[in-house]
Every structure is written in structure tokens, then in C-alpha cells.
Structure 1
Amino acid sequence: MKRLLRVMTMTATLAVLLCSPVQAEEKASAGAAASGAISSVGVPYDWRNGPSDITLLDQATLKLPAGYAWLPQDEARRMLQQFGNPNVADVVGVATGSTHDWLLVVRFDKSGMVRDKEAGKWNVDAVLESLRQLTTQTNLQRQKQSAPEIEILGWLEQPRYDAARHRLTWGIAVRNSGDESPDAQGLNYNTYLLGRDGYFSLNLITGLQRIDSTRPLSAALIDAIEFRDGKRYGDFSANDKAATFDIGGLLAGKGEVTTTQKAEKPVAAKKEGFFSTYGKLLMGVVIVILLLALGALGWLFWRQQKKSDEVTLTPEEPTMEEPAAGAEQA
């Protein structure tokens, strides 16, 4: 229990890291609330078990397989806010598997069709360096707050674009600066599914040491998402809205593209700073520290039982409920 409380405190401090200087004081109170979230162990969330067809807004359908569970939009937002994550407006839902040691946070950004002409032209070393520089900027704010700084260890998976499925995947490993303990390590692993009206972002939340076992499970879930007719990337027409950034903006901030060659006609874009974009991309880091304690994810599903002054998580009594008949609305 002490370890879990320590992890919750780290989660709260990381939440403030992802805020702008203007928001930092305001979000600090949210972070403090997150550090007390352990008191909510046993509060049931309305999980839906597969197999079930989950409607993702008006954009796509998730054919949730058996052995997986889905937390609908309202419940997902409540859970994320409980951890001190204020940016939940675009959250569609959260998914997990039967092992309960990972989460997949699903968001949708209705920014318009994201052009993929520059896919694969990015300089991965330059992109990684850009992310490190941006992290350094936020660490200056952390120093003022006497809070732990973050450092990027390197690529977990270099940016990879599947042109046939219009899917971008990339991941980085991170940790508290100078701290080599497992509790200080996390990851930011993202998959983007491009469509006609915008894109789904799917952020894998798990411990760094579990990435090899959880990545195939989350990939199977991502494969189960299908855009509706008329919402696919190929359904885009000249009169439709296009995003003000291209695919490189999903790597280092919208409108901020690092490529191996200069585009002939760069996309005009409003440059969004680190605090509004990169901080959101690192949302997973806020939660992932919590999951590094062995079995920490269980408290999202299991109710507490007291033995003396101890809290015992009981996996035999899950709070997840069976899905209602028919499709489940996100």
C-alpha cells in the first residue's frame, strides 16, 4: 500500500509537468486531488466486457473482442480526471485486457483530414532531439516547483507509417531524471488512425518493462477499429475540411515538422507550442507511473477489503459488468 501511495504522489507531480506556466498553479490543486485518489479504491467504473460492438462517436466501430473491456466516454473522462488529467474533452473511451496491466486511451481530434504526403521523410534523430529540447523547457518550470524533472531515454519504436491503413505509430521511453528505479520509468506509445474528418489517437498506458507483452494485445484491439462508410481517409473530397498541419505534426507538435527534405509546398499551420500539444501527447506518462507498482491497475476493477489496517485487492470480485445487448455507444 505504501508503494502504491508513493506511485500516486508521483502521478500527481507528473500531472503538473504537463501544464503550461499559466495553468500550473491551477492544475497543482488537481494534482493534489490525484494524490488522494487512493481513497477511491473500490469505486466501481462501468466497464463493458467483450465481445461487443462499440460505437466510437459517428466515426468508427470497435469490435471489442472477448477478453477485453471498454470504459465508455463519461466514465473514462471521470477516471482520467481523477488522476489529475484535465484534458479529457476529446476522450472517447478507455480499453483494457484481461491481464489488467495496461490501458488504451482513445481520443478523437476532429481537425480535418491530415495530409500524409510527408510520411516517412522525417529525420528521426532530429525529431527525438526536438522532443528532448521541448522536455528541457518544461523542466525549467519543474525546477521552480521543486518537482522531479523528466528525461527521454530514446525511441521505443521509431515513427512508422502504414500507408495502406493510414496509420502512424511511434513511442519513446521516459523516466524521472537520473532515477534508474523501475518506479521512475514510463513510456509514451502512440498510434494514430487517420480518417476523413480527423484522427483517432490511441495512447498505450503500461509499465516500460511490460511493453513487449502488452503491445501485441493493444495492437489487436486497434486492428478491431473500423471507420464507417463515408468516414474513411479515402472518402475525403476537395470540399472537405483539411487539417492545418500535416502528419509530421503528430510527431513533434502540430505545424512543427522535421523532414529529411523541404516540402515544395509546406502546409500553412498555426504553430502550437509544447505546453498545448506535446504535453497532451505525454498524457500517458501522467498515468503510467501508477501502473508500475505490481498489480496497481487492479484497483480500477476490484473492490477493497480491509484486514486490520491493510487494503487487499481481490481479483475474484471484478466490478466490470456484462455489456448490454446490441451496440454500446461510446
Structure 2
Amino acid sequence: MKRLVLVLFALLLSCLGETAVAQQNPVAGLPWQVGPVTVKLGTHATLNVPDGYAFLDAAGTRSLREIMHDPPSNGDQYTLAPKPIKWIALFSYQDTGYVKDDEKLDPDAILQSYRDGTTEANKQRRERGWDELNVIGWYAQPLYDSQIKSLTWSLLVENTGNHQRAVNYDTRLLGRHGVMGVTVVSAPDNLAAAITSFKSTLSGFQFAPGESYAEYRPGDRVAEYGLAALITGGALAVAAKKGLFTVIGSFLIAAWKFVLAGFVALSAWVKNLFKKKQSTQ
């Protein structure tokens, strides 16, 4: 995830909604699959990409990262975006094992863990000369839907140096052997609309036969942690070994630096795009 928003910003700069720009940009030459079309998310799931959306498979997403000089992630990622692009979603499968969903989530406790972890991370940020971060709170509290086995949440953070804010929307779709993670990133003032748009595509998501949560069988590998750890990047699973705040702090210091940088650029790009459109009308 730590390069997530750099990929987002690079893709948005390609401006697929602007035909003239796209024709001159190598991103336009990537193997975009335009909906309606059914695509594979590796061997674990499929997605029905509706009309008005575009998709990049793992190879296309890797090519996208190479074009933008962005090192590849450890696992395969898949890109979904509306046309014209107003937000982007990255899908990635996490081989966690079967995550039991009988844990009762405590949003206040999870938020406090993030804040305490951020305090730890800020010590390292000061040593590196980076601006410190402040966890403002939930944009949307963690919510688990037991019917569709979906966990969602959205956290709002702020760079204390320039007061730029960042927010994204995370979804974890639970399966038999692992979890499909999806992160939706958008300009903060467009996030509500982006979430609504993204949710409309989830009806087309389906785990492959034998991979759904309901197909669990005794003897399947079970994750060492529950729902809360999915929110904190798995930190709670190893908290007893390394110390809770140190683990979460390490996770935050690796991720939020890129999130904040990306949103500063993204917000400026969106504003400039609208200004250009208005000037041509």
C-alpha cells in the first residue's frame, strides 16, 4: 500500500477523460478493458466491470507503475476507474487464511490505537525531518456487513506542517482462504460520491468457486487475527511480539507519507482540470 497514492496520482495525470491528452500519453496505450466486461482478479475472484468503467489487469497495472517510475508491489494489483476518472480503486488479494468474523469491533479503541501508533511514528518522522501527522478521526467508522462478509472504514489524517488532509476508503471482502482488499482514493471533497460510485460496482464482484467465505471447511488455514487487525494493517496480530504501538507506528510511517503527498497533488490536479474545462466552455 505504501505506493498506492503515487500510482493513483500518476494514473489521474494521464487524464483518460481528456481524449486529446490521452492520445499523447503512454498510459493510453495500456491494455485497458472497457466495460461492460467480466475480468479476473487473479485466480481468486471475478469482477463484472460495468459500462462507464475501465479496468487494468495485473500486467497492465505493473506497466502503469513502470511508466510512472513506481516500483512494483509484492503482489498483483488490479485497477478499476470510472470514465472520466474521478477516483480509482486498487484490488489486491491477501493470503491471510480464513478470518473469523465473530469479533466485535470497537471503533474508539481502534482509533486510539491508530493515534498512539501515530505518536510513535511521529518520533521517527521528526528524526527524518518529515512533517508530523495527526489522526483527526473516522470519516466513516468501521462497519462489518455479515451478510456479504464485507468490512469497510475510512480514516482522516492531517499533515501538521501544511495542514493538508488525506482520506481514503478501504474495503475488505472476506473469502475462504484470504481477503480481497480494495482501496478507493479520491479528492476529499469527492469521496462521498466516489464511495457511492464504487459500491455500485461491488454487485459484480464474486469469489471463484470454492473460494467464498461460506465454503469454509474444517481444516482450512485460519488467520491468527480477526477483523480489527485487518483495519490496522495486521498490526494487532503481531502486537504481542513487537509491541502494539511500535508495529502500528511502523505501518503508519510507511503508508501515510505517500497518502498525504498524493492527495496534495491530486487535489491540485482536480482543481486545475475543472478550471481548464470551465475556460474552454
Q: Same fold (TM over 0.5)?
A: yes
Q: 1:201 corresponds to which letter in structure 2?
A: G
The separation in 1 between residues aligned to 2:233 and 2:84, in whole angstroms, is 33
- TM-superposed CA distance for 1:279, in Å, is 5.7
Q: Which runs of 5+ in 1 are unaligned?
A: 1-13, 19-29, 258-266, 299-311, 314-330
- TM-superposed CA distance for 1:188, in Å, is 2.9
Q: 2:112 corresponds to which letter in structure 1?
A: E
**Number of the residue aligned with 1:248:** 228
Q: Does 1:288 pair with 2:263?
A: yes
Q: Does 1:196 pair with 2:196?
A: no
TM-score (norm 1): 0.67
- After the TM superposition, which of the residue ranges 87-96 and 99-108 deviates more from structure 2? 87-96
**Number of the residue aligned with 2:119:** 136
- After the TM superposition, which of the residue ranges 84-93 and 214-223 deviates more from structure 2? 84-93
CA contact (8 A) 1:73 1:92 kept: yes
- TM-superposed CA distance for 1:293, in Å, is 1.6
Q: Report 1:1-330 matches (<5 A).
A: 42-44=25-27, 45-80=30-65, 86=71, 88-118=73-103, 121-177=104-160, 179-180=162-163, 184-254=164-234, 256=236, 273-274=247-248, 277-278=251-252, 284-285=259-260, 287-295=262-270
Per the alignment, do residues 86 and 219 of structure 1 end up closer, same or farther by CA in structure 2, a change over 3 Å counting?
A: same
CA contact (8 A) 2:159 2:260 kept: no
Higher relative contact order (CA 8 A, sep 6+): 1
Per the alignment, do residues 233 and 281 of structure 1 end up closer, same or farther by CA in structure 2, a change over 3 Å counting?
A: farther
TM-score (norm 2): 0.78
Q: Which structure has greater helix proportion?
A: 2
Q: Which structure has greater strand proportion?
A: 1
- TM-superposed CA distance for 1:277, in Å, is 4.6
Deviations 1:46-76 (A, max 9, x none): 3221111101111111000010011221232
- TM-superposed CA distance for 1:256, in Å, is 1.7
- CA-atom RMSD in angstroms: 3.3
CA contact (8 A) 2:235 2:248 kept: no
- TM-superposed CA distance for 1:287, in Å, is 3.5
How many residues are matched? 253
Per the alignment, do residues 103 and 250 of structure 1 end up closer, same or farther by CA in structure 2, a change over 3 Å counting?
A: same
Deviations 1:201-255 (A, max 9, x none): 1001111111121111111122321112211001011121111211121122426
Deviations 1:280-307 (A, max 9, x none): 7757555433321233898xxxxxxxxx
Q: Which runs of 5+ in 2 are unaligned?
A: 15-23
CA contact (8 A) 1:197 1:231 kept: yes
CA contact (8 A) 1:102 1:297 kept: no
The separation in 2 between residues aligned to 1:176 and 1:88, in whole angstroms, is 25
The separation in 2 between residues aligned to 1:219 and 1:230, in whole angstroms, is 24
How much identity, in percent, do the aligned residues show? 26
Per the alignment, do residues 169 and 71 of structure 1 end up closer, same or farther by CA in structure 2, a change over 3 Å counting?
A: same
